[in-house]
Amino acid sequence: MSSSCPIEQIVATVRAKRERRKDARPGELLAAALDLFVEKGFVGTRAEEVAKRAGVSKGTLFLYFSSKEELFKAVVRENISGRFGVWNEEFNNYQGSSADMLRYCVKAWWEHIGATKAAGIIKLMMSEAGNFPELAAFYNAEVIQPGHELLQRILQRGVDRGEFRAIDEKYGVYTVLAPMLFLATWKNCWGACHEAGMQIDPEQYMAVQVETILYGLSTRTAADAPPVQAAACAK
């Protein structure tokens, strides 16, 4: 015979479900907030809308996040800046060429940020950062600076290994970032203004851009460049 009665078992099951639900709430709130921030911008998003979309009360939202600003910061950390720890560790352990590392970096950015709803945060910051200095400073500290530093490390690695020619790292970073930011903007803004025949294939676009950048960085002459790169750009 079971040591516990059916009522006790039911109560235990309900309690366990409530605990699991409680543990899931921060993630549900962050997902709802990301959707609304991307759809409506920072100003247009209201806390009660986030709570409603997540299926909780406004009071419950503020149990986890003290303000809309803190909620936005948590969304950025969850979807963008929280990835830099992993990416820097991958840099430390990477055994391949610096060219392949840059290809991987761009591909990883697209898969984890550019191709996701998180890319909408980039558009939001472009349009609203000037009105919110605190959020702009936060985004600079947690996204822009770590991103620049990682790209600088990749470029410097290539120079140190004799794979890349020496360039001004500051502007070298912007050279890599420019097509990435353009693609994020296209995905969330300009793409809607063009007809189907003018749409960009993101993976093909980034492949062409990164190979063009690598051609400019390479210490080899044009005659030394492997034909497979030219073929990849022509596709």
CATH of the domain at 105: 1.10.357
What is the per-residue pLDDT across 48-101, written as a single tens digit (0 to 9) for each?
A: 999 999 999 999 999 999 999 999 999 999 999 999 999 999 999 999 999 999
CATH number at residue 41: 1.10.10.60
Q: Which residue has the tokens 């290539």?
A: 158
The mean-pLDDT minimum among 3-17, 96-110, 138-152, 219-233 falls in: 219-233
Same domain as 112, residue 173: yes
Say if pTM beats, i.e. exceeds, 0.85.
no
With both helix axes pointing from N to C terminus, report the angle between 169-188 and 119-128 in degrees, rounded to the nearest 10: 100
Mean of pLDDT over the chain: 84
Q: Are residues 27 and 98 in the same domain?
A: no
The pLDDT of residue 77: 96
| Listed residues 41, 75, 109: the one ending a domain | 75
| Contact in structure between 29 and 51 (CB atoms under 8 Å) | yes
User: Which tokens in the block code for residue 110?
Assistant: 């697209």
**Looking at the structure, do residues 139 and 186 belong to the same domain, yes or no?**
yes
Amino acid identity for residue 231 in this structure: A
Confidence of residue 220 (pLDDT cuts 50, 70, 90): confident
Same domain, 43 and 111: no
> How does pLDDT run across 130-148, given as a tens digit for each residue?
999 999 999 999 999 999 9
Indicate whether 222 pLDDT > 50.
no
pLDDT at 14: 44
The answer on pLDDT for 223 being more than 70 is no
The answer to whether position 176 is within a domain reads yes
User: Is there a contact between 51 and 20 (Cβ–Cβ < 8 Å)?
Assistant: no
State residue 135's pLDDT score. 95
